[in-house]
Amino acid sequence: MTMSPQLSSDPSDFYSQSFSKGARENTLILNMGPQHPSTHGVLRVIVELDGEYIVRAEPVLGYIHRMHEFMGQKKTYTQYLPNMGRVDYLHATAWNWAYVGAVEQLAGIEVPERAEYIRVLTCEINRICSHLVWWGAYLLDLGAFTPILYAFEDREFLLDILQRVTGSRLTYCYFRFGGVYADVDDKFIDDTRTFIQRFRKRLKMYEALVTKNFILRKRCEDIGVLSVQTARKYGCTGPVIRGSGVPYDVRRAVPYSVYPELDFEIPTFSEGDAMARYMVRLKEMEQSLRIMEQVMDRMPDGDIQGKTPKTLKPPKGETYFAVEGARGKIGVHLVSDGSATPYRVKLRAPGYSNLSCFAELSKGTLIADAVSILGSLDLVIPEIDR
């Protein structure tokens, strides 16, 4: 009879002891990360292997914990704004929006209509930027080098467009309480329309070059099948749960800003595998183009900044505001004690919930397929280990 391993009381020894002493005969304990290309950051996954098959896997976080929530309780509401662009640097505008939206809700700040349209436009542009990085990096993980060059070429066009109004190319701090930092001009609109025409052609090329590729499909189809029950159990959102056939999107489920006025679809695929999650993101980029066109056609004149007090001190109370990010539901829970500094800031990062299902999805798969599963979740480790 095999006795359970006696674990050290030191928390830092938990993972090494539980896996090494708990390994069964003829199995191997392997560290995948924290310096592994497919983890896209310092994510460590400890796997127990029987040959090339995974018996169990456990993600290990904490290598770059940056104390974002704690900093929110030490800075003023305004000073904390730049932190949002650094939680998830690939879809920074969505995090901008979640935070300013929570503060506006708590303080009763109204946002001009033009500013709402600009927020939607820049957020959708940034969503495509995020999906392009995922697309290129995912295929690189699977052994295809060429697609990431195409992805970054297209992304550069969008970064040029966003830089025009934000002054930045990655960690945006563009949204303000009551509006946005700068107005969009005619060149911004013209460049965006030019990109839309170009990118629709590029998406067809992506489909012919990659999506229909036999090798890609063999690496993704029937790999990492996520059931609806499992997705809900772990709180998965975004393309991960939509790849399992659930049409949950915050823009529709809990409408905010001017999204209810726009005509767009929520792409879903019922297969639940890595290929379904891949297809959701490709179709989402098409829908973002639709949204961008409608926003530019309907963009009203007017102010881009509402009235806000010089020193922001929201009344005592708490609020929660959520937006749809590239990885899923981004939520900000704020508690105010009436001072200029938040009493409590709690961030809901979608990647954390999406990663949580990996141990279950990877069990019994080949280690090569685990790379495909991990990539299909579209993880940004600094967001998870915030």
Angle at the Cα of 42 (from 38 to 43), degrees rounded to 5?
Answer: 65
Q: What is the pLDDT of residues 123-166, one digit of tens each?
A: 999 999 999 999 999 999 999 999 999 999 999 999 999 999 99
Q: 302 — phi, psi (to 5°)?
A: 130, -170
For residue 245, give the nearest of 233, 229, 263, 221 by alpha carbon: 229
The two structure tokens encoding residue 182: 């700068």
Q: Which residues pair with 58 in a beta bridge?
A: 46
Alpha carbon distance 384, 105 (integer Å): 25
Judged against a pLDDT cut of 90, whether residue 89 lies above it is answered with yes
What pLDDT is recorded for position 16?
Answer: 47
The two structure tokens encoding residue 281: 């993101």
* Residue 220, CB-side half-sphere exposure with 13 Å CA sphere: 25
Query: What does DSSP assign to residue 258?
Result: T
Mean predicted confidence (pLDDT) in 330-343: 97
Q: What is the pLDDT of residues 188-213, one digit of tens each?
A: 999 999 999 999 999 999 999 999 99
Judged against a pLDDT cut of 90, whether residue 39 lies above it is answered with no
What pLDDT is recorded for position 26?
Answer: 82
Alpha carbon distance 248, 327 (integer Å): 12
Mean predicted confidence (pLDDT) in 226-241: 97
Judged against a pLDDT cut of 90, whether residue 9 lies above it is answered with no
What pLDDT is recorded for position 33?
Answer: 80
Q: 41 — phi, psi (to 5°)?
A: 140, -175
CA of 18: how far to CAs of 1, 78, 215, in Å?
Answer: 18, 44, 37
Q: What is the pLDDT of residues 114-126, one digit of tens each?
A: 999 999 999 999 9
Mean predicted confidence (pLDDT) in 342-354: 96
Judged against a pLDDT cut of 80, whether residue 17 lies above it is answered with no
What pLDDT is recorded for position 23?
Answer: 58
Q: With bands split at pLDDT 50, 70 and 90, how would you rate the model's confidence at 310?
A: confident
Q: Which residues pair with 60 in a beta bridge?
A: 44
Mean predicted confidence (pLDDT) in 214-242: 97
For residue 368, give the nearest of 130, 98, 54 by alpha carbon: 54
Judge whether 262 and 294 are in contact, CB under 8 Å.
yes
Span of 2-6, 13-17, 364-368 with lowest mean pLDDT: 2-6
Judged against a pLDDT cut of 60, whether residue 8 lies above it is answered with no
Using DSSP's 3-state secondary structure scheme, residue 129 falls into helix
What pLDDT is recorded for position 128?
Answer: 98
Judged against a pLDDT cut of 70, whether residue 329 lies above it is answered with yes
Judged against a pLDDT cut of 70, whether residue 274 lies above it is answered with yes
Judged against a pLDDT cut of 70, whether residue 57 lies above it is answered with yes
pTM over 0.85? The answer is: yes
10 Å Cβ neighbour count for 116? 20
Q: With bands split at pLDDT 50, 70 and 90, how would you rate the model's confidence at 19?
A: low
Judged against a pLDDT cut of 60, whether residue 314 lies above it is answered with yes
Span of 14-28, 69-83, 224-238, 239-253 with lowest mean pLDDT: 14-28
What pLDDT is recorded for position 11?
Answer: 40
Mean predicted confidence (pLDDT) in 354-371: 95
Q: Is 327 exposed, middle or buried (0-12, 13-18, 19+ CB in 10 A)?
A: buried
Q: With bands split at pLDDT 50, 70 and 90, how would you rate the model's confidence at 66?
A: confident
- Please state which of the four CATH numbers 3.40.462.10, 2.60.120.260, 1.10.645.10, 1.10.1060.10 is assigned to the domain occupying 68-380: 1.10.645.10
What pLDDT is recorded for position 74?
Answer: 95
Span of 24-33, 64-73, 333-342 with lowest mean pLDDT: 24-33
Sorted by sequence, the CB contacts under 8 Å of residue 198 that are 6+ apart come out as 154, 157
What pLDDT is recorded for position 18?
Answer: 52
What pLDDT is recorded for position 4?
Answer: 33
In the chain, where are the structural domains located?
68-380
